[in-house]
Structure 1
Amino acid sequence: MTGIAAAPATLQHDVEQFLYREASLLDEWRLDEWFALMHPEVEYRVPAPGSDHLDPRHTLQVIHDNHTRLSGRVTRLKSKHAHAESPHSRTRRFVTNVRAEAQEGGAVVAHANFHVMRTRLGQLDHFLGAYRYVLVPGAEGFLVRERVATLDHGIVEAGGTVSIIL
């Protein structure tokens, strides 16, 4: 966080509330409302384990979606065609250690730790890691311009698949 001023307390609070609301929308399977928080130029990534420091344009990613692909992901998750999520998982998300950095032009870079627990068909899977967001001003608060969920472990340790939105 060198060279960037920490966000004022009110901005820190607003970022925390935004991330908590986003987690709640995902846990409640309110995917359309969640998708409405995405900027038209959103980039959503889950880097392959150990590759988070490498250029995503030249590195394998578990997920690397733009707005169009993310829209398709949401549509599939809501349909019966996402066999890995039909019936859909139940999730509980813990978002902690939120840090916000104000940027020029009103953008905010936010970092947070996460623990997402997924229960499906009697199996409990855990996803642990760190988020990095670029949030930009929107009509009613923030829009997500970039969302990176870096896992602290391999996919196999988390049940072998990432069929949910982390």
Structure 2
Amino acid sequence: MTATVWGHREVEDFLIAEAALLDSWELDAWFELFAEGATYEVPQAAAPEDASPETSLFYIADDYFRLGQRVRRLKNPEAHSEFPRSVCVRVVSNVRIVKTEGNRAHVEAVFVTYRSKNEITDIFPGHHRYILETRDDGLRIVSKRSTLALNNLRPQGRVSIIL
């Protein structure tokens, strides 16, 4: 396998496109960004960086199958936590390629997700950690961990959206 040259602009554009898919509620297209076998995790607020879903509480600890189920549930009108769905705006910034290994890159980014529902706007700040992989058909997410930069979830109360 030949080494892949990772361009910052390509990675940043990919993360911004991912956020746009979520903002526009194109959940099936968003799910297609994930490689088969991928994971999506959101550790508990104030969890240590090295927290593991095997030993710590996570708000979300989805393998590829469970992530697909989450997408289907969110699109279902009977999913009361998101029907009617929230209006969200995601901002992604400070994108850094931390490490590369062949066709994989470890990427970090800062995010702020604004969620508006029932006349209340919640703000979810934090950082994403990705492992991205290049394939013949483009970049794919191998893992995504969204860590909230909060001590707790007050006043938000819960995470019912995809960060």
Q: Fold-level match, TM-score > 0.5?
A: yes
Paired position in structure 2 for 1:77: 74
In structure 2, the residue corresponding to 1:159 is in which secondary structure? coil
Specify every segment of 5 or more residues in structure 2 that has no aligned partner in the other structure, as ranges.
Answer: none
- Secondary structure of the corresponding residue to residue 44 of structure 1: strand
Deviation at 1:58, TM superposition (A): 1.2
- Alpha carbon RMSD of aligned pairs, Å? 1.6
1:48 aligns with 2:20: no
Q: 1:36 to 1:138 in 2, by over 3 A?
A: same
SS of residue paired to 1:23: helix
Q: Deviations over 1:67-113 (max 9, x none)?
A: 11000100010011210100001100110000013422210111000
Instruction: Tell me if structure 2 keeps the 8 A contact 1:127–1:158.
Output: no
Name the residue aligned to 2:11: 15
Query: Among residues 51, 55, 59, which one is paired with 1:62 in the alignment?
Result: 59
After superposition, where does 1:1-166 map in structure 2 within 5 Å?
A: 11-51=7-47, 52-166=49-163
Identity rate, percent: 37
Runs ≥4 residues deviating over 3 A: none
Q: Distance in 1 between matches of 2:99 and 2:151?
A: 32
Alignment size in residue pairs:
159
Distance 1:96 1:28 in 2: 19
More helix by share: 1
